[in-house]
Chains A and B, each alone.
Chain A
Amino acid sequence: MEATAAKTSVQTAPPQKRPWISPTNRRRLANFRANKRGYWSFWLFMILFVLSLFAEFIANDRPIVASYKGEILYPVLVDYPEEKFGGFLATTDYRSDYIQQEIQANGWMVWPPIRYSYQTVNSNIPHSAPTEPFWLMEKADRCAAYPQKDQDPNCTLGNLNWLGTDDQARDVTARMIYGFRISVLFGLVLTICSAVIGVTAGAVQGYFGGWTDLLMQRFIEIWSSMPVLYILLIIASILPPGFFILLGILLLFSWVGFVGVVRAEFLRARNFEYVRAARALGVGNWTIMSRHLLPNAMVATLTFLPFILSGSIATLTSLDFLGFGLPAGSPSLGEMISQGKNNLQAPWLGFTAFFTMSIMLSLLIFIGEAVRDAFDPRKTFG
């Protein structure tokens, strides 16, 4: 029987290949594309995000490439000690006149478009910080602090502060780029981690039901009724602030949001006949959960993700604003907002932070809307 079976299947085997994307997902993709606003938001956001991942090449206080005495150096990637250029410090300040002259005399260097990193202090501001964007100043005032005034070789576009400086004379543009990156990365990591934990917890509860469900449900009720903000403040005052500590603290509470939808989806789907059929085939619990039930729950989860992401970003920003967020000196939009609040005479601080936040969150919401519509079963299966 086996042999004949093999033969018939060879004869009837289709040349057809398995499609790469299932028809359902193809229709979802088409739905997503059909939503013009969401689709463009997605690409715009992706471009901004990918660009910000290379922030070191866009805004940095060290050149991208330099040639010094016939040697090609990559200061962006490598920390060269100053003695390489005849100095004595452990790190090189490429912005200092001495190093610049030394390199220019023995080769050349290529600067990024913005010659400030997020914590570079501009020592040549024309008046006390915060200073306004250069295009709000008279041409003569812009480089007033440089030795040769506006004839100075350093009085270039890359050295001018496009969006001004903050109250510690740091470049706002650079801080904005780095701040955007850290916000999105923080949001992404937090969202993905809470999705993994939340989906797992919801899946276990929904699939096994009974006592497991009951106990975890009660635990979640108690857990989610904790005053999150106060706990954050208490923990933040004990542990040293940092990216991962903050992530961990927020993660403690943010996974709960996913449990409800996933649990409901699993509770509903575990009685489906195809799940029962899989059990009758002897398929194990975890395989059933991941192969048959998880795809159902993924729709709800994916729909949630962009909104959770924007929520995480807003949380981080608000913590930074209150001063309980990232360590001092980190490029953070929340800190920029609080500077804007403290320096009402420097509206560029507040405006920059406001526009960055609102554009970023709007893009995410538009994407989220499009994703939600794309996964709408009435549109997919209707």
Chain B
Amino acid sequence: MPSIPERRSGEPMTEPLLSVRDLSVAFHQGGDTSIAVDKVSFDIHPGEVMALVGESGSGKSVTANSILKLLPYPSASHPSGEILFDGKDMLKASEPELRRVRGNDVTMIFQEPMTSLNPLHSIEKQIGEILELHHGINGQAVRIRTLELLNQVGIREPEKRLKAYPHELSGGQRQRVMIAMALANRPKLLIADEPTTALDVTVQAQILDLLRGLKGEHGMSMLFITHDLGIVRKFADRVCVMTKGKIVETGTVEEVFTNPQHAYTRHLLASEPRGEPPPADPSKPVVMEGKDIRVWFPIKAGFLRKVVDHVKAVDGVDLELRAGETLGVVGESGSGKTTLGLALARLISSTGRIAFVGTDIDKFSFKEMRPFRDRLQVVFQDPYGSLSPRMSVGDIVAEGLKVHERSLSADGRDERVAWALSEVGLDPATRWRYPHEFSGGQRQRIAIARAMVLKPRFVMLDEPTSALDMTVQAQVVDLLRDLQKKHDLAYLFISHDLKVVKALANHVIVMRLGRVVEEGPADQIFQAPREDYTRALMAAAFNLEAVEIEAISQ
């Protein structure tokens, strides 16, 4: 591989490594043709990181996939354009030629590291396969090179990890393995399709750190696809802003961020969740109270299935939540945030006192809980999964009414549904439609309407914004805050996204491994965190820095 000199951004251009000219992508389905990508052009120079930014559906992944011709041809086609890689047009290249480039000169890493790795093969086999295929080495040489690669991507004790299967690794480790596989052939160009979106903020910071280091070491170019502007600002040299299949703005990161030209770029830049939570009022009644909440899952072993140990998902958490207040619960994945929320909503069994509007509900059965369910609502993370695809929006929202307000007539129910939909900013006329006709943000509004229609006192919000685009996140945060003000709601807001928590929470609990690491008023936690873990979380979330790795990486 030719060594490529280190190049700083803004230097005069050399010959571009990849040049995309007038690329269009059309999808054909049943006689319909839709243009997913419309005449985009950009260049990537050796050693450069180009970021492709845009919301979901803007065509950024489709653009990236067309570089290696990974689209589902023939239902996809390229009406125009050329993709020159090292001077060769990839769109006209034959399949064997493409195969030589794929995984060799150009490699890709994907968003979801679990599904990108074969669950049936050990990581040694998966990395080794690439080495054998492209380098023709085998036996001991493969092993040595695999260890070298795993070392390079920062997997600790790689000798022990060689025989591991993907499910035995954490999300961050899996993504590291994916990167190791991508690097195995020393590619000239690495295409990273949202490589950190599925990961925790702390792990995201580590992965970005790793990629930055590798770029410096190998001098490879990178096409980095993301919707997170924070990452772009920290990480990229140049940026292309995409919306609706078109590139609306291209420039160096500094230019675009300090002086955005296009209206959409400005909109995107202004869409970070903002605002302050309404001040907490200590005179309001306590809605939810938890004392020493524990959720332990038994580990059974041996012939008689004796309980030998417990997985302590939540291990002694106390909390108190008043009407009109928001309690933010933050922490990495696996810290027990969602489990705590489910325990409070009595959707999984727990021990410890849980009092809801003055009644101890922790010993109630599912039936005994039913009278309380209308005032105790849950909004889930994934708006695509939480709405039944076979029910119309009206039916989905009305479902709770059928359980809790049986006396309501069909017309009365319909009125309430229309009210709830307009309350969350949706046109009530849409209630005969089905969830798949709505965008992610609208779906999350429907999920919120389903909770609001019962006029709850307490809403458990389990990462309600993390599956949404940045601009939509801000809207949902605003909506939640408005509803809270209007109906004096108490929120338990679970999120790993500290920016959103900052915009909503009065009080914050920082969780780690089922225990509360730090808690206090939101201002205090964000301004002056006491614990190292909290500080590391803040650094990773707000500055994308993997500081004090010892405190977080496990």
Whether A281 touches B399, Cβ cut-off 8 Å, given contacts A8-B418, A18-B392, A273-B381, is: yes
A274 CB–B CB distance under 8 Å: yes
| A277-B447, A281-B373 as given contacts; A9 in contact with B428, CB under 8 Å | yes
Q: Which of B378, B388, B429, B436 has the most CB of A within 10 A?
A: B388
* A12 on the B face (CB < 8 A): yes
- B385 contacts the other chain (Cβ, under 8 Å)? yes
Q: Is the CB of B428 within 8 A of A281?
A: no
A296 neighbours in B (Cβ, 8 Å): 390
Is the CB–CB distance between A8 and B403 below 8 Å? no
Q: Mask for B401-430, Cβ within 8 A of A = 1, else 0?
A: 001100000000011101100100001110
B124 within 8 A of A: no
Residue A211 CB within 8 A of the other chain: no
| A284 cross-chain contacts in B, Cβ below 8 A | 403
A15 nearest in chain B by CB position: B429
- With a cutoff of 8 Å between Cβ atoms, the chain A residues found around residue B414 in the complex are 9, 13
Report how far A280 CA is from B389 CA in the complex, Å. 18
- Shortest CB-to-CB span from A285 to chain B, Å, is 8
Mark A265-305 against chain B: 1 for CB-CB distance below 8 A, else 0. Answer: 00000001110111111111000000110011000000000
Check A274–B385 contact: CB distance below 8 A: yes
Any chain B CB within 8 A of the CB of A88? no
In angstroms, Cα B429 to Cα A279, docked, is 27
Contact with B along A4-17 (1 / 0, CB 8 A): 01101110111011
Given contacts A14-B428, A24-B390, contact A283 B399 (CB under 8 A): yes
Judged by DSSP, the binding face of A is helix
A to B contact number (C-beta, < 8 Å) = 100
Question: Any chain B CB within 8 A of the CB of A70?
Answer: no
Interface residues of B in 444-492 (CB under 8 A from A): 447, 450, 454
Interface size class of A (residues with CB under 8 A): 20 to 34
Select one of B370, B392, B415 contacting A282, CB under 8 A: B370
Q: Is the CB of A9 within 8 A of B415?
A: yes
Q: Which of B30-82 contact A (CB under 8 A)?
A: none
| A281 cross-chain contacts in B, Cβ below 8 A | 373, 377, 399-400, 403-404, 450, 454
Task: Give Cα A381–Cα B437 distance, bound, in whole angstroms.
Answer: 12
Is residue B434 contacting chain A, with contact meaning CB distance below 8 A? yes
Structural contact, A273 and B429, CB atoms closer than 8 A:
no
A residues within 8 A CB of B403? 281-284
**Distance between Cα atoms of A98 and B400 in the complex (Å):** 74
How distant is the Cα of A283 from the Cα of B369 in the complex, in angstroms? 11
Contacts of A292 in B (CB 8 A): 388, 391
Identify which of residues 8-54 in chain A touch chain B, using a CB-to-CB cut-off of 8 Å.
Answer: 8-10, 12-14, 16-19, 22-24
Are B380 and A277 touching (Cβ within 8 A)? yes
Interface residue B374 (Cβ < 8 Å from any Cβ of A)? yes
Contacts of A153 in B (CB 8 A): none
Q: Is A382 an interface residue (CB 8 A)?
A: yes
Q: Which residues 369-398 of B have a CB within 8 angstroms of A? A: 369-370, 373-374, 377-378, 380-382, 385-392, 394
Using Cβ atoms and an 8 Å threshold, which residues of chain A touch B29?
A: 382
Distance between Cα atoms of A277 and B395 in the complex (Å): 14
Q: Is the CB of A277 within 8 A of B386?
A: yes
Q: In the complex, what residues of B have CB within 8 A of residue A279's CB?
A: 347, 366
- Chain B residues contacting A283 (CB-CB under 8 Å) are 399-400, 403
Q: In whole angstroms, how far apart are the Cα atoms of A282 and B373 in the complex? A: 6
A277/B392 contact (C-beta < 8 A), A9-B418, A12-B428 known: no
The reply to whether B382 and A16 contact each other, CB–CB distance below 8 Å, is no
CB distance B416 to A5 under 8 Å?
yes
Cα A13 to Cα B419 in complex, Å, equals 10
Tell me whether A9 and B422 are in contact (CB under 8 A): yes
| Set A10, A12, A16, A280: member contacting B377, Cβ < 8 A | A280
Query: Of B370, B399, B404, which contacts A278 at CB under 8 A?
Result: B399
Q: Is B432 engaged at the interface, CB distance under 8 Å to the other chain?
A: yes
Query: Told that A24-B389, A281-B373 touch, could you supply 6 new A-B pairs with CB distance under 8 A?
Result: A13-B414, A13-B418, A18-B392, A274-B386, A274-B387, A295-B390
- Identify the 10 closest CB pairs spanning chains A and B, nearest first: A282-B373, A5-B419, A9-B418, A14-B429, A273-B385, A273-B386, A280-B378, A281-B400, A282-B370, A274-B388
